Amino acid sequence: MKLNGWVMAFLVLATAPVAQAGFDDAVAAANDGRYAVAFEEFSALAEQNDARAQQALGWMYYEGQGRPRDYQQAAFWYRKAALQGNVTAQINLAQMYAYGKGVKQDFAEAARWWQALAEQGDGRAQDALAGLYYQGAGVERSVETAVRWWRAAAEQGIVGAQRNLGLMYGKGQGIARDDVQAYAWLNAAALQDDAAAAQSRDYALSLLDAQRRERAMALAAEYAERFVEPFREKNKSPH
């Protein structure tokens, strides 16, 4: 029995680098535009239950890379990877449920996936979940809950969440109206090239007297340092 145990351990360790090499080769092929090669590599690994390959295969079906676009197949492979804890697949599957691509539109199912990720601290999921709570789509409507999740995402540099949090402060929805806070959050989003946020920021500034304008400028500088600059590179990339 001990011998068999040692043999099994050796075989597992021996096969891991091969699987990694195959995945890396597939990624390289996709990056080079050799989609047919990448598709075959990812397919073989996905059938072996490799969650990364399943997610990548879902992406290839979704984008129509190396194969005609097929949202149903994309959802199929995203689900397989998502059930193994692949974060990118979970995000993508939630989006497919939200937009009804490859699956029947189901906001409650989208909320279920986004909720799990949001509670683990994923900023993009927090932003998306906030939108569902704001609209009451798939969850009981709660502007206060939407604001809470937008704040969590905004503090991770998510530009849409920063814009929406600023608007909530400006309108006094789900939170007490505060034009200083509105300006600071809208400015954070504007610094990330959000044109709508920049326009609303300028309007928020026009509502402030000299004393509050000074406070708003100081807070905006603080938020830029805390909630924009540290996240610029991270948020450029998908999961």
pLDDT digits (tens, 9 = 90+) for 185-195: 999 999 999 99
Could you count the other beta carbons within 10 Å of the beta carbon of residue 18?
Answer: 9
> 154: which residues sit within 8 A by CB, 6+ positions away?
161, 162, 165, 185, 188, 227
Render pLDDT for 49-106 as a digit per residue (tens, 0 to 9): 999 999 999 999 999 998 899 999 999 999 999 999 999 999 999 999 999 999 999 9
Tell if the pTM clears 0.75, that is, is over it.
yes
Report the pLDDT value the prediction gives residue 233, as an integer from 0 to 100.
85
Mean pLDDT calculated for residue range 136-160? 98
User: In angstroms, how far is the first alpha carbon of the chain from the final one?
Assistant: 42
How large is the average pLDDT for residues 149-153?
Answer: 98
* Whole-number Cα distances in Å, 25 to 13, 39, 43, 58: 19, 11, 13, 17
Is 107-233 in the same CATH topology as 20-105? yes
Question: Rounded to whole angstroms, how far apart are CA atoms 165 and 173?
Answer: 9
Q: Indicate the domain borders of the chain.
A: 20-105, 107-233
The per-residue pLDDT for range 2-51, each reduced to its tens digit, is 333 333 332 333 334 445 668 999 999 999 999 999 999 999 999 999 99
List, in order, residues 6 or more apart from 131 with CB less than 8 Å away. 137, 146, 164
**Architecture of 107-233 per CATH?**
Alpha Horseshoe (1.25)
Architecture of domain 20-105: Alpha Horseshoe (1.25)
